[in-house]
Structure formats: structure tokens, C-alpha cells
Amino acid sequence: MSNGMSNDLKIELGRRYHFAASHRLHSAQLSDEENWRVFGKCNNPYGHGHNYTLEVSLSGDVDPATGMIANLADLDAFVEREVLAEFDHKSLNEDVPAFREKVPTTENLCIEIFERLKSFPKARLERIRIQETGNNSFEYSGEKPQGDAQ
Amino acid sequence: MERPGLLDRNSRNDEVGAAMVLLTRKIEFSASHRYHNPNLSAEENHRIFGKCNNPHGHGHNYTLEVTVAGEPDPVTGMVLDLKQLKDILEREVMQRMDHRHLNLEVPELAGQIPTCENIARVIWQLLEPKITQGKLHHVRLYESPDLFADCYRNGAGAR
């Protein structure tokens, strides 16, 4: 089966996942006053939560036999195991080891999730984007080699 | 030292010119399709495609976002006339795909599995030669709010 692939076109597969989690923005390196000044209401000692949307973008060759960059069932199972099972309906500070030390901002969440997903064996992880609320979102596409303008 | 991984939107298209603007138009269409590869056995088709292999097909409301890049015309202030883009999308996409069976009624998809990836690429190939003001920059096709494909020129960046 021909797919008419032209080499200079790039195709990405995008998939969105949803999870709900609580967090508290607090740095052990700052005083209580500084934490309050920097993080404001996000420093509330009892935490608060968000409905996060995680967007995963993959690239790779479109397999002419399946029309797919990666089988969704494989991707869904991988994201479920690597991220959702550990993050959904959890406290990011308490339940995710990486955030015992690091502040669970959505920036740090992007980096943590990217690191967890980059070993997906069937395609290349291009970037992830996380919406913390409908009004703010964050993107991360991994560490770039030095000298790469993008 | 660069900040790792932060997307610098301004640096992505510097070859096009400093005042380049991206314009995006969205349309929606509904179509049916079926994932089935005649070279595979019935069991393999079912294993790979799952419920998308249902013999009688199924359908989606697709959302297409088409982004054109260009410098605004000094007189009109436009990258291209939106009406013109709307007409191109109507002719090339809506008339071909809206309320159609993608496997059976769209010759450009014949012999291909009509996944998001393949449909997005076919739409790119249909639109690119028709857009003469500005340059086709990015096509994003949503099959559902949680599944989509992006198509763009290598090196141009996904947005």
C-alpha cells in the first residue's frame, strides 16, 4: 500500500490525556514569608488541585500497513503505566518521588513527564504540553543539543 | 547556554522574514471510515485496529486547523483574504470529505488506511498548491478532542 510519503513533510501524532492531582508550591530553601511572597495562594499548606490535560506529540514514519506512527493502544498503555497510574488522583508532592525535593510547578511537571515518556519504544517523543487550567499551558521538548537554534 | 527545551516561537521561522504572521482557519466536517488492510488476515486486522476495524465502519466529527504563514500585504493588512482561504477549504476539503466515506469516496485516500496521520498529509497535499498568497505552514486534524495529527514542512516547526 502506498502512502505517497514525501520526505520533506513531517507528520506528528498528538494524543491528549487527562488527570487530576493536588499539589502545593513550597520551597524548603525559602522562608515562610518568601514562600508566601513567591507562590501566593499556591503555597496554602493544605494544597489545592487541578484537572491537568497532558498532550503528547510523537513523530516517526507512518507505517504504510497501518497508516499509523504508533498504535494508540501501545501509546495509551505506556502513558497509563508511566504517568497516569502514578499521577491521577494523587498528591504530586507526596506521591511522586521527584517532587519531594522539586517544587511541583507545571514547568517541573513537564520535565518529569517528558523524562518518563521519552523511552516510548515505537516513535520519537517530540514534545509534551500540559494545561494546568484552561488559561495556562506549558511545553517541553527535551534538552536541545548546544547550537540548535530551535 | 540555552535554556533547555523552551520553545522559542520567534526563532522558528526566521528565514521567512521578520514580520511573518501566522493565520489559522478552522473548519469542521463529518465523515465515516474503516481501518482495514486487505493484505492482513481478519485476525491481524482485528488485533491491530480493534473496534476501528468494524466491517460497517464508523464516523467522526473532524476539526481541521489550517495555518498559513506570510507577511501582511501593506495595502490590505492581510496575509491572504480569509474568504479566499474559506473557498479553497470548501472546494478541496469540504466537498471531498464532508459527509463522505473516506475509504470509498475519496480517491486521494485510496489504498491508504484513513488514519489522522494519512488524512492530514492528504489535506496538506491538496491545499499546498492552491494557497498562492502566503505559504501553507501547518495542518492539524482532530479526529476527536483527544486525538490529532500535525503536518508541516521538516524544519518549520509544529506551530
- Residues A140 and B8: their CA atoms lie apart, in Å, by 11
**Tens digits of residue pLDDT in A106-122:** 999 999 999 999 999 99
Contact B158 A12 (CB under 8 A): yes
**Tens digits of residue pLDDT in B84-125:** 999 999 999 999 999 999 999 999 999 999 999 999 999 999
Contact A16 B158 (CB under 8 A): no
Chain A residues in contact with B109 (beta carbon < 8 A): none
CATH number at residue A17: 3.30.479.10
Residue A5 counted as domain residue: no
Nearest to B157 among A3, A17, A150 (CB): A150
Q: From residue B126, how far is each of B74, B117, B133 by CA, in Å?
A: 28, 14, 15
DSSP conformational letter for A84: I
Residue A147 counted as domain residue: no
Residue B13 counted as domain residue: no
A132 is catalytic: yes
- Residues B88 and B67: their CA atoms lie apart, in Å, by 13
Considering chain B, what is the average pLDDT of its residues? 89
When pLDDT is cut at 50, 70 and 90, the band that residue B76 belongs to is confident
> Which chain B residues in 51-110 lie under 8 Å from chain A, judged by CB atoms?
none
- Residues A86 and A130: their CA atoms lie apart, in Å, by 16
Q: Domain span at residue A94?
A: 12-139
Quote the ipTM score: 0.85
Residue B4 counted as domain residue: no
**B2 interfaces chain A, CB cutoff of 8 Å:** yes
Residue A144 counted as domain residue: no
Chain A residues in contact with B121 (beta carbon < 8 A): 3-5, 9, 11, 62
Q: Are B121 and A9 in contact (CB under 8 A)?
A: yes
Considering chain A, what is the average pLDDT of its residues? 92
Q: What is the pLDDT of residue A148?
A: 56
Q: Which of B46, B52, B108, B117 is catalytic?
A: B52
When pLDDT is cut at 50, 70 and 90, the band that residue B139 belongs to is very high
Residue B15 counted as domain residue: no
Which among B3, B8, B28, B133 has a CA at the least distance from the CA of B73?
A: B133
Contacts A–B by Cβ distance under 8 A: 114
The total domain count for chain B is: 1
Q: From residue B133, how far is each of A62, A129, B69, B156 by CA, in Å?
A: 30, 31, 9, 18
**A45 interfaces chain B, CB cutoff of 8 Å:** no
Shortest alpha-carbon distance between residue A45 and chain B (Å): 30
The total domain count for chain A is: 1
Amino acid letter, A40: G
Residue B54 counted as domain residue: yes
**Tens digits of residue pLDDT in B7-23:** 343 444 444 456 899 99
CATH number at residue B58: 3.30.479.10
Chain B residues in contact with A16 (beta carbon < 8 A): 145-147
Q: Domain span at residue B62?
A: 20-151
